[in-house]
Amino acid sequence: MFQPHGAETAAHGGEHAAEAAHEGFNAGETIIEHVSNSPIDHPLIHLPTLVGIDFSVTKHVLMLWLVAAFVFATVTWIVRRHLAAGRPVPSGAMNGLEFVVEFVRDSIVLPNVGKKWVHAWTPLMLTFFVFILCANAIGLIPVFDVLGLLNHWVIHPDHESFLGSVTHGGTTATANFNVTAALATITFGSIIVAGTRAHGFIQHWKNLVPHGLAWPIYILLIPIEIMGLFVKPFALTMRLAANMTGGHIAILAILSFVFLFTEMFGQAAAGIGVGLAVSVPLAVGISALEIIVVLVQAYVFTLLTAVFIGMAIHVHH
């Protein structure tokens, strides 16, 4: 998986290498298996099919739920504890939480949305920021991989069972295009809601195109504007998911050198040497970079949503 600990990955990969000993190590297949969602034929939890949609829970859905539960529980707990203490000055975790809230409000929402609407849109932006940040960050922490390693020696679960599938490895929920597409759909909806609340429904759509032009220009402009409407959320979707997937693939590709070199020279020493000299230091470096990417991507998603909402509210011609 994408964890910073090379040793664990080596252990995981070791299994694959052992399995694939007779047919050779296929780096591409292994990498894709690690970054893609678990197949719908073998979901973690079986749920019934309603209205033609299979509600079975796959790896990414489970991670999504875990992140949502984690964010909800942590934030509620911190705020409740602060309120129960009854102190006017926040302390400890509440201090950190207030820093995040103020940061999002003052440096993301306020400059883009403006004073009048800042309180209407800060909650949504905060939800985006905290959720994406946590989803990205939890993907970087190898919780399930460590559990899986323990399992491998202690419990020996059945590979098809829930425990066996879960401990096979965690993933980043935001590395799935469907998740980011859902988030961008919320952005798409909120742009329309923001424009409608600020200007009224009809006026919002009129605001999309600059007025006072000759009519032939409108024939060109209106389709372009409609496409632009969909392009914005699409760019958000691709950027977030591609960034989260890309880092993982880079780390996995570098770590797969170990197995490729082992195979090439026919001895484990070559692979371990390459691993110690090249793969592990590089993978650690990229993991450090990933920490920055995690922060920046959460920030950029929130910032761009705020910019788009601001554009719908403040229409200049």
Partner 1 sequence: MPDDEQGFSLARSLSFLQENLRRAGPAAAASYALVGAVLLLGGLGYALDAWQGTTPWFLLAGLLLGVVVGLYELAKVVWRS
Phi, psi of 197 (to 5 degrees): -65, -35
Beta bridge partners of 53: 50
The Cβ-side half-sphere exposure at 34, using a 13 Å CA radius, reads 29
Query: Least CB distance from residue 203 to partner 1, whole Å?
Result: 18
Which residues have C-beta within 8 Å of that of residue 246, sequence separation ≥ 6?
Answer: none
- Is 232 among the residues that bind partner 1 (CB under 8 A)? yes
Beta bridge partners of 54: 49
Residue with tokens 């309180």: 119
Question: Residue 92 corresponds to which amino acid?
Answer: G
CA nearest to 103, candidates 77, 130, 78, 82: 130
- Is 304 among the residues that bind partner 1 (CB under 8 A)? yes
Looking at residue 57, the DSSP 8-state letter turns out to be: B
Looking at residue 288, the DSSP 8-state letter turns out to be: H
- Is 96 among the residues that bind partner 1 (CB under 8 A)? no
- Is 296 among the residues that bind partner 1 (CB under 8 A)? no
C-beta of 64 vs 124, nearer to partner 1? 124
| Among residues 55, 230, 267, 285, the one that binds partner 1 under rule CB under 8 A | 230
Query: Least CB distance from residue 161 to partner 1, whole Å?
Result: 39
- Is 224 among the residues that bind partner 1 (CB under 8 A)? yes
- Is 228 among the residues that bind partner 1 (CB under 8 A)? yes
- Is 272 among the residues that bind partner 1 (CB under 8 A)? no
| Among residues 28, 92, 96, 111, the one that binds partner 1 under rule CB under 8 A | 111
Name the residues that contact partner 1, by CB under 8 A. 106-107, 111-112, 224-225, 227-228, 230-232, 234-236, 238-239, 300, 303-304, 306-308, 311, 316
